[in-house]
Structure 1
Amino acid sequence: MVKNTDLPMLSKRLLSDTSLTQCTIYFKYYLHQALVKGGLGNDYMNWLGIWRENIKMGLTTWAEYSDLKYSRSDCHAWGSSPNIEFFRTVLGIDSYSPGFSKIKIEPHLGTMTNVSGEIPHPNGKVAVAYVLENNRWKIKVSLPQRTSGVLVWKAKSYPLKGGENVMVI
């Protein structure tokens, strides 16, 4: 049985064990979700090498295949996971109950010290901003009215209400 304390070590093996079959560009979506659940979410921006290669090659949409030498820009949805994972993993915006009626904010900022973004929501929009100033984080979370949520920051939970929530942590 795998214990929660073993998850980061097991997750790191998924990245380093070359005897394992390597994920294709589309399947990296699932790998990245597993790595985030395994406690490695702050490394997300470091896992985007193949997408950076797409950009260097001048592709205007994401390739479908991982072998970029023989691929082309197919605009394949399965290869586009960073488009949503920036919001869900990095900014931490996710549904916390059916129909997005509650919202969970659990960012994985890695080395970023000033980042923000917003997504549409059935009742309006969800916006977040994170700024590190003088070794303290100023966190602003705006939720639609009548929509509650929770901010999970370093394994501690903070309740969120509809409207603007500002915290210095």
Structure 2
Amino acid sequence: MDDVRWLSAEEQEIWRAYLTASVAFSAHIDRQMRQDSGMPMAYYEILVRLSEAPHRRLRMSELADASLSSRSRLSHAVTALERNGWVERRPADGDRRGWVCSLTESGHAALAAAAPGHVTTVREHMFDVLTPEQLRSLREIGLAISAGLRTECEAARAEDDGQADPCDP
């Protein structure tokens, strides 16, 4: 353990401030989504990704990557979204192993109904409390952290052995 680079008191404070804000903000957004829309944030993110895709559909592997989810976790979420009638899953054309997930009109309507509450929550608890300079820094910080984790997260998603992916939000 002599080679461990322990955190200084200031680094420990920064880490805890980041962790507290990140966990509290994520929990608050998820709670707001469940209360206002009846869906967890993870489902909302899937619907958003599909709504932004050409023809409102993506291969399941592409949707997993776009939503930063393992394939197994995505499959469970898509099953729930199918039960709600918000998405449809079908075999990919010309590929017996691939599947495509499509956003239905009902899913688009659910997304449109959920979006105002979500955006309001994000605006009130992030954009309204930070200065423009802090927001630019937050973007740079987020991009740097994501870039530093990219290889590990891609490897974890590729393993997709049914266990929880430590890189899933």
| TM bracket (short chain) | under 0.3
What's the TM-score, normalizing by structure 2?
0.26
User: What's the TM-score once normalised by structure 1's chain length?
Assistant: 0.26
Per residue, is there more strand in 1 or in 2?
1
